[in-house]
């Protein structure tokens, strides 16, 4: 079992732990709702160092990666980033990730369980290309600040104004005596930033931020609150909404796809579906009339006919009701459509809702095109 260098810090803060991809990580710090509202109203600080990081180098890295993945890599300049996916030749998901361009490499941030299958699958296409995929996850830590006061907290800790970054934009930045890669990225529906830094300096940078917790209302945040925020934001997750059977268009991953760049692995399938005009099923939000929460895989019916299944569910403190993400047939996917979810043999009324289910202080959705 792997642990972050911050494990003892989290113990002192009263964390309850869970396991993610062989990492022991905080589930919550006593009250997940307090952590949730910290992100919604002030700022939350989370350690995401269990995530995967793949470094792509070699003189052919731009040409090769551009020809493999769904988004426009050739158009990225150093300091820019984009959301992308790598597909099978049948257009199904292998991995989704964010690509960050630096002068000497691309950095791919993805779920930890996707690193090995992604690297194995994409390296099979390397023949005479000068390109190397290296798993550098163990060398780098990742801190996330999310919430309306995230920027203020960073500025307090650094004693300097934040640079103006577009979504997924990034640059090297000084926080005290430490140099970090500052990334503008939301995974909660609120304004958000991430700090990529050497694992060895994780504790010192955490403390530099934590010292200003009273000024900006900063609280530590565990996976429980982050999961609720993710579901409300309508963001699909590998292993839940994104599986080897998923077409990216089914999961609303339009921001991950360039429709003008030309060929990539699986592009013919995406083009064919796009020209046809629709997919047969769509990821939607559901507002449930009452609890208990449906488990992943729970049937969605209309009224007695099965039309889909639940992928993720949570109780929404902001909406004060259970909510879920689910795949349903296209003909019942419009917002306002009445459906039902089967929970413990009982049909619970549900209504299809537009994603995101709750829009925070950000003016745009984290996966909207720009």
Query: Which CATH number do you get for residue 235?
Result: 3.30.1360.120
Residue 303 has a pLDDT of 82
Shared domain for 328 and 249, answered yes or no, is: no
* pLDDT tens by residue, 214-255: 989 999 999 999 999 999 999 999 999 999 999 999 999 999
Shared domain for 230 and 362, answered yes or no, is: no
The stretch 91-119 carries a mean pLDDT of: 98
Provide the CA 209 distance to its chain's centre, in angstroms: 22
- The last residue of one of the domains, among 263, 279, 295, is 279
Write the CA distances from 217 to 117, 290, 354, integer angstroms.
40, 32, 31
Residue 149 has a pLDDT of 97
Shared domain for 218 and 361, answered yes or no, is: no
CA distance 170 to 84: 17
Q: Is the pLDDT of residue 118 over 60?
A: yes
Residue 360 has a pLDDT of 74
Shared domain for 17 and 87, answered yes or no, is: yes
Shared domain for 311 and 239, answered yes or no, is: no
Residue 291 has a pLDDT of 83
* Location of structure tokens 């934590």: 210
Q: Is the pLDDT of residue 365 over 60?
A: no
Residue 368 has a pLDDT of 52
Shared domain for 255 and 134, answered yes or no, is: yes
Show the DSSP H helices in 81-149 as ranges.
Answer: 115-123
Classify residue 238 by its DSSP letter. B
* Location of structure tokens 């810090």: 9
Shared domain for 245 and 347, answered yes or no, is: no
- The last residue of one of the domains, among 279, 297, 326, is 279
Shared domain for 16 and 136, answered yes or no, is: yes
Residue 364 has a pLDDT of 58
Q: Structural domain of residue 299, as residue ranges?
A: 281-370
* pLDDT tens by residue, 143-167: 999 999 999 999 999 999 999 999 9
Shared domain for 224 and 333, answered yes or no, is: no
Shared domain for 322 and 248, answered yes or no, is: no
Q: Is the pLDDT of residue 11 over 90?
A: yes
The stretch 289-311 carries a mean pLDDT of: 94
Q: What is the CATH number of the domain that holds 310?
A: 2.40.30.110
At 176, is the pLDDT very low, low, confident or very high (cuts 50, 70, 90)? confident
At 3, is the pLDDT very low, low, confident or very high (cuts 50, 70, 90)? very high
Q: How many domains does the chain have?
A: 2
The stretch 259-268 carries a mean pLDDT of: 96
Q: Is the pLDDT of residue 277 over 90?
A: no
Residue 369 has a pLDDT of 47
Q: Which of 225, 149, 218, 157 is nearest to 190 (CA)?
A: 149
CA distance 5 to 348: 44
Shared domain for 247 and 142, answered yes or no, is: yes
The residues near 80 (Cβ < 8 Å, ≥ 6 apart) are 100, 101, 166, 168, 169, 170
At 359, is the pLDDT very low, low, confident or very high (cuts 50, 70, 90)? confident
At 370, is the pLDDT very low, low, confident or very high (cuts 50, 70, 90)? very low
CA distance 24 to 70: 32
At 276, is the pLDDT very low, low, confident or very high (cuts 50, 70, 90)? confident
Shared domain for 202 and 234, answered yes or no, is: yes
Give the pTM.
Answer: 0.96
Residue 312 has a pLDDT of 98
- The last residue of one of the domains, among 228, 262, 279, is 279
The stretch 191-208 carries a mean pLDDT of: 97
């Amino acid at each position: 079992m792997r642990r972050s260098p911050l494990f003892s810090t989290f113990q002192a803060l009263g964390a309850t732990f869970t396991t993610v991809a062989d990492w022991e990580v905080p589930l919550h710090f006593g009250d997940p709702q307090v952590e949730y509202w910290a992100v919604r109203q002030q700022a939350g600080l989370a350690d995401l160092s269990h995530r995967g990081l793949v470094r792509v180098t070699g003189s052919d890295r731009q040409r090769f990666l551009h020809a493999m993945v769904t988004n426009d890599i050739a158009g990225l300049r150093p300091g820019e980033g984009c959301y992308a996916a790598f597909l099978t030749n049948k257009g199904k998901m292998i991995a989704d990730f964010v690509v960050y361009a630096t002068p000497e490499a691309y950095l791919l941030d993805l779920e930890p369980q996707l690193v090995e299958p992604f690297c194995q699958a994409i390296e099979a296409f390397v023949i005479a290309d000068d390109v190397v995929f290296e798993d550098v996850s163990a060398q780098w830590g990742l801190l996330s600040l999310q919430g309306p006061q995230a920027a203020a907290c960073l500025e307090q800790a650094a004693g300097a104004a934040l640079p103006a970054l577009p979504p997924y934009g990034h640059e090297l930045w000084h926080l005290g005596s430490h140099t970090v890669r500052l990334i503008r990225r939301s995974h909660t529906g609120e304004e958000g930033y991430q700090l990529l830094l050497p694992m060895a300096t994780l504790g010192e940078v955490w403390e530099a931020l934590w010292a200003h917790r009273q000024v900006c209302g900063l609280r530590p945040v565990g996976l429980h609150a982050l999961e609720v925020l993710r579901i409300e934001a309508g963001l699909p997750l590998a292993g839940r909404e994104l599986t080897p059977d998923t077409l990216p268009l089914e999961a609303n991953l339009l921001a991950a796809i360039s429709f003008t760049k030309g060929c990539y692995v699986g592009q013919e399938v995406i083009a064919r579906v796009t020209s046809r005009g629709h997919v047969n099923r769509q990821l939607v939000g559901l507002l449930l009339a009452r609890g208990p929460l449906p488990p992943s895989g729970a049937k969605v019916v209309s009224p007695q006919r099965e039309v889909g299944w639940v992928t993720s569910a949570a109780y929404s403190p902001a909406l004060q009701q259970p909510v879920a993400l689910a795949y349903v047939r296209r003909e019942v996917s419009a917002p306002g459509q009445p459906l039902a979810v089967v929970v413990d043999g009982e049909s619970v009324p549900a209504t299809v809702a537009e994603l995101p289910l709750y829009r925070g202080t950000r003016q745009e959705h984290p996966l909207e095109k720009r």
